[in-house]
Amino acid sequence: MVNPQATATTPAGRDVLAHALASDVKLDIVETTYRGHAADAAAQAVLDGYDLVVAHGGDGTVNEVVNGMLRDGVRPGVPMLGVVPGGSANVFAGALGLPRDPVEATYRLLQAIEHGTSRKVGLGHVSSARSGADDQHDRWFTFNAGVGWDADVVAGVEAQRAKGREASPALYVRAAFASYVTQRRHPANLTVHIPDEEPFEGVRLAFVSNTDPWTYLGDKAIRLNPSTSFDGGLGVFALHAMGLPTIARYVTHLLATDGNPKGGNLLRRDDVEFVRVTSRVPVNLQVDGDLLGLCTEVEFTSVPKALTVAV
């Protein structure tokens, strides 16, 4: 599956990569032309009995492919996933230890095919609903999901990309600042539910990680839950306060170190199987950097060994 609109994907690069892969495997290329096309094509590949589905694009393309492959759930017969990065962040590929350069990643994929090397990875699953509306979503995520501020940032970036702006760290920083100002005027009021614990009320934002790092700012890995991995449960990072000193302290810490943040305003848990976040008013939800929409209740579930990836 090739997303020709991905930030770092070009026709010339696509042809070079396709030629390299076609030298070792029987290859069918699908260029996506609409939102959800990669998911539809991946679902059809499962039905057609393909052994390998390769996603060449950004994290959004990878997410669509994964959701298409697992449209009927985790079951035997689902193909192996290959990833050739072509986006601006490529968090999933980076967390797997794959090269972010498409040519190097293609070589790694060919080596994995030749030597039969792969690994099982756990995924996160989201189920969300909005009170008083028919909106209901079920979605797999590969590296992170979030309710509140980060989802508002994704909404802002998507709005700018719709106007022709290119995704970049600078665009995300501007969107984050604009969303922060809005959050200060109209703060979220979330409740986080974790099994065997009392509900945590008055939460302003909630990030859920399926692996580490949570994302990248350029080449800088942002680590909210450093011990979270594809082999364990979910990581939770939630803040009770969004004051400028609190945000500045955590942002400075995350940029200056390799993570492991701590603090009195921070709710952080590692390796949890299930998290539920509720809100009295609709708030934005994002999965793998893709805006899913508004919700008042969302459940995050860890699904171990959900997918096989060529590495």
Residue 26 or 265, more confident: 265
Expressed in angstroms, the distance from the first to the final Cα of the chain is: 18
- Interval 275-301 mean pLDDT: 95
**Contact predicate 92/287, CB 8 Å:** no
pLDDT single digits (tens) 184-223: 788 889 999 999 999 999 999 999 999 999 888 778 888 9
Cα 15 to Cα 9: distance, rounded to the nearest angstrom: 10
- Interval 26-45 mean pLDDT: 88
Of 28-37, 52-61, 97-106, 252-261, the poorest mean pLDDT is in 252-261
Instruction: Give residue 200's pLDDT.
Output: 96
E strand spans, 61-117 = 80-85
Instruction: Give residue 51's pLDDT.
Output: 92
Of 168-177, 204-213, 222-231, 286-295, the poorest mean pLDDT is in 168-177
Instruction: Give residue 24's pLDDT.
Output: 67
Cα 131 to Cα 176: distance, rounded to the nearest angstrom: 27
pLDDT single digits (tens) 4-22: 565 555 565 666 677 777 7
Cα 203 to Cα 95: distance, rounded to the nearest angstrom: 28
> Domain ranges in the chain?
11-116, 123-305
**93 contact partners, CB below 8 Å, separation of at least 6:** 62, 83, 85, 99, 100, 105
**Angle at CA of residue 308, ends 293 and 92, nearest 5°:** 45
Token pair recorded at residue 14: 């696509």
User: Is pLDDT at 2 greater than 90 in this prediction?
Assistant: no
- Interval 107-135 mean pLDDT: 90
Tell me: domain 11-116, CATH 3.40.50.10330, correct? yes
Cα 44 to Cα 38: distance, rounded to the nearest angstrom: 10
Q: Which CATH architecture has domain 123-305?
A: Sandwich (2.60)
Instruction: Give residue 49's pLDDT.
Output: 92
Cα-Cα-Cα-Cα dihedral sign, residues 28, 31, 37, 39: positive
Write down the mean pLDDT value for the chain: 88
Instruction: Give residue 254's pLDDT.
Output: 86
pLDDT single digits (tens) 138-156: 999 999 999 988 899 888 8
Cα 45 to Cα 53: distance, rounded to the nearest angstrom: 7
State the CB neighbour count (10 A cutoff) for residue 11.
10
- Counting residues of the chain whose pLDDT is more than 70, the rounded percentage is 93
**pTM of the predicted model, to two decimals?**
0.89
Of the candidates 40, 15, 44, the residue with the CA atom closest to the CA atom of residue 29:
15
User: Is pLDDT at 275 greater than 70 in this prediction?
Assistant: yes
- Interval 300-307 mean pLDDT: 97
Cα 253 to Cα 63: distance, rounded to the nearest angstrom: 29
Instruction: Give residue 12's pLDDT.
Output: 59
pLDDT single digits (tens) 87-109: 778 899 999 999 988 888 888 98
